[in-house]
Amino acid sequence: MIVQHELTVHKPASSGPDPAVLGKMLQLIYGRFAGQTVCLAAKLGIADHVAAGLTTTHDLAAVLDANPSSLRRFLRALASYRILAEDTPDSWKLAPAGELLRQDVPGSLRDLARLFAAPEHVHTWLALEHSVLTGECAFDHVHGADGWSYAQEHPEFNKTFNAAMSSIAGSVHQAIARIYDFAGIDLLVDVGGGHGRLMAHILARFPKMRGIVYDMPHVVNGAETYLAGLGLGDRCQAMAGDFFKSVPAGADAYIMTAILHDWDDDASALILRNCRKAIKPSGRVLIGDFVLKPSNEPDFGKAVDLEMLVMTPSGRERTESDFRRLLHRCDLRLKDILPLPSGNSILEAVPA
């Protein structure tokens, strides 16, 4: 009788995942913890309290009516994220990043972080799956109303949202006025210019320029008051209108920041075509938005694109190719892209 013996193959034991890849994946999975911690610090005003001299866990617990032991664990986590630093045992100071959570510093991100801590925003992002699978706005799905209607009926959220938009716009506006060369532009129109803050920065740098802030009627009243208070009333006009129908004609340049990313291509094309009709032959159209990098490249703008997906019915960030196609539809040509420190860019377009 022949006895057959099974051959045992000894496979090398798996060495497990690459430690660097494992660490990166864990960082991504746990990333929500860091975001919630930082945004709660903004909501509680931790940075403002520390800047005001309340530097010990005991002092902070007293002003926040917080459990000292739990608060210390929270502050320790903030120190690990380099928001705070423990100076002496149970005594804290602000790290450089923590300074940006103060209310009273240039470029403060406190109000943006407070928006991300708001229940309306948190619950919307928990419905990311709905937007990804259906293409529908998660905010509408969760709250039963679009963001603008909801804000009108919920004053506290409206206040939080508007403060956040002003917060992020402040640093962007300063960068645009500082980096882009507006020389040679006599008349500039800010399309959807809000209360005129961007225009004020630009006019301050270019004292011979004139401007028009163009927005909805209920907005431009605030712009007129704001600009007059800065002594710019004689150089800048606040004009009411609907940029889907027309824009003021005859300017040397038209600028719009964080406007096109609120709309799909058809709606954006309406705005751009109106600018194309109104512009001088030698004029330019300036667009302040994110320009998404190729898919495999790390890109903060892609996270903002998901924010537009869940928070708006049709908003989106675009790639360079997307912008070129959109501009071509409107008889405009992309001439240059100027990156800004905030991660977004100024796109310069001219008549084709």
Q: What is the pLDDT of residue 154?
A: 94
Q: What is the pLDDT of residue 16?
A: 82
Q: CB of 336 within 8 A of CB of 180?
A: no
Catalytic annotation, residues? 261
Per CATH, 20-102 and 164-351 having the same topology is answered no
Q: What whole-number distance in Å separates Cα of residue 138 and Cα of residue 144?
A: 10
Q: What whole-number distance in Å separates Cα of residue 182 and Cα of residue 203?
A: 10
The low-confidence residues of the chain, meaning pLDDT below 50, are: 1
Q: CB of 89 within 8 A of CB of 82?
A: no
Q: Kindly report the CATH number that applies to the domain delimited by 20-102.
A: 1.10.10.10
- The residue to which tokens 């600028």 are assigned: 255
Which one-letter DSSP state was computed for residue 260? Answer: G
Q: What is the pLDDT of residue 123?
A: 97
Q: What is the pLDDT of residue 33?
A: 95
- The residue to which tokens 């495999």 are assigned: 296
Q: Where are the domains of the chain?
A: 20-102, 164-351
Q: What is the pLDDT of residue 14?
A: 66
Q: What is the pLDDT of residue 220?
A: 83
Q: What is the pLDDT of residue 10?
A: 61
Report in angstroms the alpha-carbon separations of 294 from 264, 291, 298, 321, 333.
20, 10, 9, 10, 21
**Rounded-to-5 percentages of helix, strand, coil across the chain:** 50, 15, 35
Q: What whole-number distance in Å separates Cα of residue 275 and Cα of residue 73?
A: 54
How far, rounded to the nearest angstrom, does the alpha carbon of residue 151 sit from its chain's CA centroid?
A: 18
Q: What is the pLDDT of residue 111?
A: 95
Q: What is the pLDDT of residue 6?
A: 59
Q: What is the pLDDT of residue 195?
A: 86
Could you tell me which residues come within 8 angstroms of residue 256 by beta carbon, excluding any fewer than 6 positions away?
190, 191, 192, 271, 285, 286, 287, 288
Q: What whole-number distance in Å separates Cα of residue 41 and Cα of residue 76?
A: 12
Q: What is the pLDDT of residue 148?
A: 86
Per CATH, the homologous superfamily of domain 164-351 is: Vaccinia Virus protein VP39 (3.40.50.150)
Angle, alpha carbons 28-298-317 (nearest 5°):
105
Q: What is the pLDDT of residue 350?
A: 97
pTM for the model stands at 0.88
Rg (Cα) of the chain, in Å, rounded? 25
User: Could you count the other beta carbons within 10 Å of the beta carbon of residue 314?
Assistant: 15
